[in-house]
Amino acid sequence: MPSTLTRMTPLRHLGVFVRARVPAPAGATPAPGRRAPALALLVGAASTAATVAYLWLLSPHALSADEAHYWDWSRNLDWSYYSKGPLVAWLVRASCEVFGPLSVAATGDLTAAVRLPAAACHAALLAAWYVLAARAFRSPALGVGAVLAAAALPLVRAGAVLMTIDPPFLVCWAWALVCVARAVETGRTRWWAAAAALCGLGVLAKYTMALFPVAVAAFLLAHHRGEFRRPGFWLLATGTAAGWVPVLAWNAANDWVTFRHVSGQVGVQGPNTGSGVLKFFIGQLGMLFAFWMFAFAAAGWRFRPVRGADPAVALLWWASVPVWLFFGAASFVKSGQANWPAPAYVGGIVLAVAWTREQLAARPRLTTACLGTTTLLAVAAIAAQHFPGPLRPAVAAVSGPPTEAEPFPVRRIDLTARMAGWRELATEIDGVRARVRTETGSDPVLAGTHWTLPGELGFYCAGHPRAYAIGVANRSDRYSQYDVWRPNPAADAQVFLGRTFVIVGDIGSDVAAAFEWVEPPVQVVFAPDGVPVAGWAVWVCHGFRGFARVAPPGAGPLY
């Protein structure tokens, strides 16, 4: 029997391709569509392998403050936490249990083990992008394009090497999208059940997962209203609601602190500066390197759901463009974080790649030039974020000399500076702790004046000591998980009376007055190659007497 080739016939009004089987001549090479899955697998495997090798052999970065915070959570497993669900802590704990000894033996600490789940999520996310693109546009080649485009985005590369809540959340979102598409295509309830399970799991990673069934409901209202008379969507909604059960149960026992915190973040509490919209758009342009932001916007118009639109493409649109617009509208109320619209780019990248393919056919020179320039800049940015050290002298020359008001100007440009110096700080603190231990006969209490400090101190100091946050008492910080855990120095002073504290960060008069006497601070500065990157004040405070002023729970802005 003669073999066959797959001919792709364009349907311009739908933006999709259909397959037509035609006889292939003898000796013909395999169809590109048959090679595409293998190529996508190769690209995904290579990207993931490079990520793992980087984490275990090459990474110069200490944990970010968020990562160290989640690691601290993983030492105290629970059903939820102050600001997020428990999934990130569970994944970090599992990875440290399994790979921790190997990470310590190979790298000297647990950093690689903490970040390994991010690499696994990276592989799963690339696979989802391939499936979404190949199925929605019936083009395996487009699936490969989506994988290549995503793998070359600095935003995606950062998510591959930093273990925050976003990698597992986006994996749940992406594969839930795959499952819903299959459910609509096949009519099988099992795909709805799988999507429901992923949504419930996604809520445990990031509460934004609650938007997923809303996006699906909008899609069904526009294209498949009959689905509301079947159990599928209601199974999805029930699965999503089930994900909230442990979060609600934990909050009921902890004064609903998560909801106080989130309401402050989204602007229900706290002031609106009016600059949120500008920051939002600048952040998105930076995350998608301008070209892909433009491609996303253009694709949002090109593939808008009109009568007769392909349902698979329409689902991607409803799960991306309205979600993005929701966060854009929210920026009018409160300035958010640049990564908040990230789920919109799961389907959005697929649409943007499909639009770019059309432009390559219609305007090949202009599109190739824009795409090539963007790719080169993106690769350069990825190299800079992975290996910032050699570039810091140049960054220092651009950012200007240190001043009293701005002692570390490179931090304005070099975002990776926030992951620098923590090991060196811990070494200095270990020396201070050893001296205090010798002088007093007991271990000092380790504390930081901001919630971002205790996780880093506990992770990198010898023996992983427990560290506390005293920012609320210092009037320099909001509440955090450290104020939920008991005992702590702010809420349970009697437990710590008479103890010596080693405190990292600037302390105010309220904290100084809580001790019998305070040694002059030691200034620790991390300045590789003479470039000041980070610095901290380290205080030794003797004879704790308790904080006289601690803001009471319920003070909205402090959440």
DSSP 166-215: HHHHHHHHHHHHHHHHHHHHH--HHHHHHHHHHHHHHHHH-GGGGHHHHH
pLDDT score for 260: 87
d(Cα 123, Cα 167) in Å, to the nearest integer? Answer: 10
Q: What is the pLDDT of residues 87-137, one digit of tens each?
A: 999 999 999 999 999 999 999 999 999 999 999 999 999 999 999 999 999
**Pair type for strands 445-448 and 467-469:** parallel
pLDDT score for 1: 40
3-state class (DSSP) for residue 480: coil
Q: Profile the chain (559 residues) by mean pLDDT over runs of 10 residues.
A: 38 36 37 77 96 95 97 97 97 98 96 98 98 96 96 94 97 98 96 98 97 98 94 97 97 92 63 68 84 96 89 97 92 77 96 97 96 94 94 95 94 94 97 96 96 97 97 88 95 96 95 96 95 97 88 54
d(Cα 82, Cα 197) in Å, to the nearest integer? Answer: 24
* Contacts within 8 Å (CB) and 24+ apart, 89-98: 91/117, 91/163, 91/168, 92/117, 92/163, 96/71
> CA dist 238 to 202, 213, 235, 242, Å?
13, 10, 5, 6
How many Cβ atoms from other residues are within 10 Å of residue 313's Cβ?
Answer: 24
Residues 385/60, Cβ–Cβ less than 8 Å:
no
Residue with tokens 């004040």: 537
Helices (H), 363-409: 364-386, 392-399
pLDDT score for 340: 87
Q: What is the pLDDT of residues 131-183, one digit of tens each?
A: 999 999 999 999 999 999 999 999 999 999 999 999 999 999 999 999 999 99
Supply the DSSP symbol for 556.
G
Q: Is 372 exposed, middle or buried (0-12, 13-18, 19+ CB in 10 A)?
A: exposed
The beta strands (E) that lie in 496-551 are given as 501-504, 515-518, 522-526, 534-544
Q: What six digits make up the tokens of 549?
A: 């002023």
pLDDT score for 24: 37
pLDDT score for 421: 97
pLDDT score for 267: 55
pLDDT score for 551: 58
d(Cα 153, Cα 296) in Å, to the nearest integer? Answer: 14
Nearest of 222, 240, 118 to residue 173 by alpha carbon:
240
